[in-house]
Amino acid sequence: MQIKEHPLRLLMSAVVLVLIIFTVWFEKTSSERDLKRAETLRTEGRLKESIALLKKTMEKEPTNATVILTLASDQREASDDTGALMTLDRIINSARFSEAETAEAYRMTADIYRKREDFDSLQNLLDRCPDTEVVKEYSNDLVQKPVIVPAGGTFSEAQKVTIHAGPGDVIYYTLDGSKPSAHSNQYQEPISLSKSGDILLRAIAISAKGAKSKVSEAGFQLHLQDVPPPQILEESGIYSEPTKIVAIAQAGCIIYYTSDGTRPSVKSKIYTTPVEMPYGDSVFRFFAVDDKGKQSEVITKRYKLVLKPQVSKEQAVSALINALIRNEVLLDAGGKKADEEGFFTYEVDGNFTVQDSDEYYRIVEYHVYDDGHTEKSGLEFSVNVNDGTCYRLGYDSTGKIVLVQLK
C-alpha cells in the first residue's frame, strides 16, 4: 500500500529549505557587503575600522577564507604581524579550507617570517607546508644542510671527515651525538677520527644573518688496530744532572709532544731528536700517530731537574769582579771606582731561573763609604751557576728579568 505524504509536512519541509537557501544567500551577501565596506574604509585610510569590521565578519563566518586572508592583509599593513599570524593560523591549522586557500595562508605567513628574518620559524613552517610551490619559493631563504663526507659507515682505518656548506655559511659540529649550536666546535679543517668506537657526528650551518640549517648527521663505527704509545726512556722523577729526554715509537709513526702539561695534538711539536730536560719542574706529554692517522694513547712524564752548581758563590763573586774590571767599571779587585769615594763590595742574594732552564746567582752591589757606612748602590748582577758567565741584571716594563752579558 502506498503511503501519501501529509500536505502540512510537505509544506514545512519546503519552508525549511527556503530558509536554508535564504540564510546561505544572506550570509554570502552580508560577507560580500562587509568586504566591499572594508575596502572602502581602507581606501579612505580608515584601516583600524576596516580591521574591526572584518574581525566581526570572521566571527560570523569562520570558514570564509576571503575574509580571513583580507583581514590578515590589513593587519600586516597596520604593522600587526603578530595579529596577522594568529589570523592565518585559522586556515593553516584547519582542514576545512581548499588547497589554494591553504597555500595562500602559508605564503603570507612565510612572508612575515622572511621579513622578520625568523628563519627557524620559516623552516618549521615549510616542514609542514603541503604546497610544493610555496616550499620551493621560500627554500632559497633557508640554509642548506651541511654535507658530511664520508656519510658514515663501518671502517677499519682512521678517517678524515670533511663537511661542506654553502658560501659564507659557518659550520658547527659535535662528535658525541648532542645537537650542535653556535657554541659547538667550529669546523675549520677535516676532522680526524682515529680511535676505535662508535661516533655520531652531527653538524649545522649558520648563515651570516643567523639562519640555521637542519642538522646533518653521520654515524661511524671504527674498528682500528691499536697504535702502541711511544716509549720514553727517561722515567718520571728527580734528576741532578743535565739530561736529554728520548722517545721511541713504532716504525712509521710520528711522535707529537708538549712540555707544558697541555694535551698534545697533531698541531703540537714533532719529536725529531732528544729534548733537553728543562731546569726545575716540567710535565711532558707524548703520543704517536701512524701513517693512517690513528693515534696512540697519551703518555705523561713529570720531571724535576735540580742541578748542583758548578760555580760556588765565592767563585761567582770573583768572576763578577774580574768582569767589571775588564769592562772598566772597577779600577781594581779592591772594588774602587773612578771618582767614587770608598769602595764597592758584592754579595750573593739568592738564586733564580730564567724560562725554567738556566740557574743564576743574584748578586747585589754595596757602596762602602769612607765614614764606614754601607748602603745598596741600586745595581744588581747575575752569574750563571754552571758556566760562570756574568750579566747585568735588570727588568723590563712588565717586571720580567732582563740579562745583559758582560764582556
For the segment 90-145, what is each residue's pLDDT rounded down to a tens digit? 999 999 999 999 999 999 999 999 999 888 899 899 999 999 999 999 888 888 89
Cell triple for 257: 709532544
pTM: 0.47
User: Whole-angstrom Cα distance, residue 80 to residue 398?
Assistant: 59
Cell 779587585 belongs to which residue? 333
Closest residue by Cα to residue 306 from 283, 278, 287, 345: 278
| pLDDT confidence of residue 280 | 83
DSSP 8-state class, residue 371 = T
* Helix/strand/coil for 147: strand
Residue with cell 680511535: 195
CB 360 within 8 A of CB 391: yes
Of 386, 213, 395, 363, the closest CA to residue 305 belongs to 386
CA distance 51 to 39: 10
Distance CA 45, CA 35 (A): 15
308 membership: H or E segment, kind and range: none
CA distance 202 to 172: 8
> Which single residue is written with the C-alpha cell 700517530?
289
β-pairing verdict for 191-193 and 159-164: antiparallel
- Provide the residue type at 100 as one letter: A
First to last CA, the chain: 141
Q: Strand 374-384 to strand 390-395: parallel, antiparallel, or no bridges (unpaired)? A: antiparallel
pLDDT at 22: 43
Would you state the pLDDT for residue 24? 44
In degrees and rounded to multiples of 5, residue 87 shows phi and psi of: -65, -45
Q: Which domains does the chain have, with CATH numbers?
A: 23-139 (1.25.40.10), 147-222 (2.60.40), 231-305 (2.60.40.10), 313-405 (no CATH)
94: number of Cβ within 10 Å: 15
Neighbours of 242 (CB within 10 A): 11
Residues of the chain falling short of pLDDT 70: 1-29, 355-357
| Cell matching residue 107 | 605564503
Q: How many CB atoms lie within 10 A of CB 173?
A: 21
Q: Helix (H, G, I), strand (E, B), or coil: what is residue 404?
A: strand
Beginning with the edge strand found earlier in the chain, give each strand of the sheet holding 159-164 in spatial order. 147-149, 159-164, 191-193
SS3 256: strand
HEC string for 169-210: CEEEEECECCCCCCCCEECCCCEEECCCEEEEEEEEEECCCC
What's the CA dihedral at 128, 132, 137, 140 to 10 degrees?
A: 70
Tell me whether the omega of the peptide bond preceding residue 150 falls within 30 degrees of 0, making it cis.
yes
